[in-house]
Amino acid sequence: MRRRLLSFAVVLVAVTALAAPALAGGWASVRLDGPPPAYQEVPWTVGFTIKQHDVSPVNVEPVFLSATHRESGETVRADAVQAGEVGHYSVTATFPLAGDWKWSITPGPFEASSFATLHVLAGPGEGTSTTATAAQTATGPHPAHIHNGTCAELGDVVYPLNDVGGALADEGTPVASERALGAETAIPVAVSVTSVDTMLFSLRSGAFAINVHESAENIGNYIACGDIGGTLLGDDLIIGLHPLNNSGMAGVAVLHGNGTNTIVTVYLFAVGEPIGTGTPTASASTAGGATATIKLVGNGDWRFEPAHLEIKAGTTVTWTNETEAAHTVSGSDLEFEDSGYLDPGQSFSQTFDKPGTYRYECNPHPWMTGEIVVT
C-alpha cells in the first residue's frame, strides 16, 4: 500500500510539473506592433505581443498600460485585452493632457516594460500643460514675423506673417483638411502662407530674418528663426529655420517672388521624434558637450558597467547592449528618458542637463540597476 501511495505521489508530482504554466518565473518582453506616434486622436490604441524570455508568445493576466504625465504627475491606467494570436494584446487609452507621458505595459506576473516617452498632441477639447513641448506645439498657432537684422540680433518687426499653424488664407479663413490617413509615424507640420508687400529682391539684398514665437500668450519666447539669404531656385528662395531656446522646433521657409509681392510660406515641425522600426534614437546633445559610455554586459549574469557614474551637467551618456538578450534602460525619475527595448548591439543616448541623482534599471531584469550622479 505504501509503495502504491509513493508511486501515485511520484506520478502526481510529474503531472503537476508538466501542467505548470511556462510563465512560472523567468521574464517576459512586451514588443509593440510598431513605434508609437506623437498622436493627435482620442482614444489611442496600441497593439503588442508578450513573449516569455523574448521568444515564446504567452497569454497572461492581468495586462495593463500605465502612464504618468511628466509635468503634472497625473496618471492613466487602461486594461488590455487579448486579441488575435497567442500572446497578442491590444489596449486603448485616453490621455487627458497634452505633453510628455512616461509609460509602460505590465504583462501579468512579469515586470512592467517601459518605453520611450509618448508625446501627446493637444486635440479638440483636450487639456494642455502649462509648458509647451516640441510635440505639443508642432501644430501651432505660432505668431511669426519678418524682422530687421539677423537671428543673432533681431531688430524691429517689418512684415507680420500669418500665424504658423493658424489660418492659411490671408483673409483669416481656415483651410479645410481631411482626417489624417496613412502612416501614424508621419511628423505633423504646421504651415502659414502670407503675401508680403515687398519684392523678393528687397528681402534678399537687405538684412532680414523670419522669427517664430511660441504663442500669443508667450510672445517673448522665440522657438525658431532663420536669416533670409542664399541662392534662388527659379523664383524661390528656400531657407532653414533653426531651433531657439531648446524648443525642439525647426522648419523651412519658402519665399516666392510674385511681381511686387513675395509669397512667404513657413513650415514648422518638431525635431527628434522617434523614427524607423522602433530602434531607439539618440537624444540631442549640446554641441561640444562631454560624453560617457555605459555597457550592458554579461552572459546570464547581466549588469550595467559601470553601475555608478558621476558626470557633469550637459554630459551625454550612451548605453550599448553587448549581451545576447534584450534589455531596457528605465529610470525611476519622471525626467529620465526610458529607452524601450535595446536588442543586442543597439545603443541609447540621453543628455543630462539637470544636477541630481538618476537611478535606473532593466525592466525585465530588475536586478540590473544603475545610478548616475549629475553635478
Please tell me the predicted confidence (pLDDT) of residue 55.
Answer: 93
Torsion of CA 47, 51, 55, 56, to 10 degrees: -110
- pLDDT of 17 higher than 50: no
User: How much is the pTM?
Assistant: 0.54
Of 176 and 272, the one with more pLDDT: 272
What is the number of other CB atoms lying within 10 angstroms of the CB of residue 189?
15
Asked if residue 21 has a cis previous peptide bond (ω within 30° of 0), the answer is: no
Q: In the chain, list all ranges with CATH 2.60.40.420.
A: 291-374
Helix (H, G, I), strand (E, B) or coil at 207: coil
* Each residue's pLDDT tens digit, 130-148: 334 444 445 568 899 999 9
Those residues whose C-beta lies under 8 Å from the C-beta of residue 241, and which sit 6 or more positions away, are 210, 212, 224, 225, 226, 250, 251, 252, 253, 266, 268
* Each residue's pLDDT tens digit, 239-287: 999 988 877 889 999 999 999 999 999 999 887 544 444 444 444 333 3
Q: Which of 116-125, 186-195, 200-209 has the lowest mean pLDDT?
A: 116-125
- pLDDT of 16 higher than 90: no
Radius of gyration over every alpha carbon of the chain, rounded to an integer in angstroms: 26
Please tell me the predicted confidence (pLDDT) of residue 116.
Answer: 87
Helix (H, G, I), strand (E, B) or coil at 108: coil
Of 168 and 58, the one with more pLDDT: 58
For the chain, the straight-line distance linking the first and the last C-alpha, in angstroms and rounded, comes to 74
Please state the CATH superfamily assignment of the domain spanning residues 291-374 in this structure. Cupredoxins -  blue copper proteins (2.60.40.420)
What whole-number distance in Å separates Cα of residue 338 and Cα of residue 334?
Answer: 9
User: Which single residue is written with the C-alpha cell 511686387?
Assistant: 260
342: β partners: 327
Q: Tell how strand 347-352 and strand 315-321 pair up.
A: antiparallel
State which fold the 28-120 domain adopts: Immunoglobulin-like (2.60.40)
Q: Which of 369, 373, 371 minimizes the C-alpha distance to 111?
A: 369
What whole-number distance in Å separates Cα of residue 279 and Cα of residue 318?
Answer: 14
11: β partners: none
Please tell me the predicted confidence (pLDDT) of residue 288.
Answer: 44
Please tell me the predicted confidence (pLDDT) of residue 25.
Answer: 53
Please tell me the predicted confidence (pLDDT) of residue 170.
Answer: 46
Q: Which of 330, 352, 332 minimizes the C-alpha distance to 340?
A: 330
Those residues whose C-beta lies under 8 Å from the C-beta of residue 153, and which sit 6 or more positions away, are none
Please tell me the predicted confidence (pLDDT) of residue 121.
Answer: 65
Instruction: Report how far apart, in Å, the C-alpha atoms of 122 and of each of 42, 141, 308 are.
Output: 10, 12, 38
Q: In the chain, list all ranges with CATH 2.60.40.10.
A: 28-120
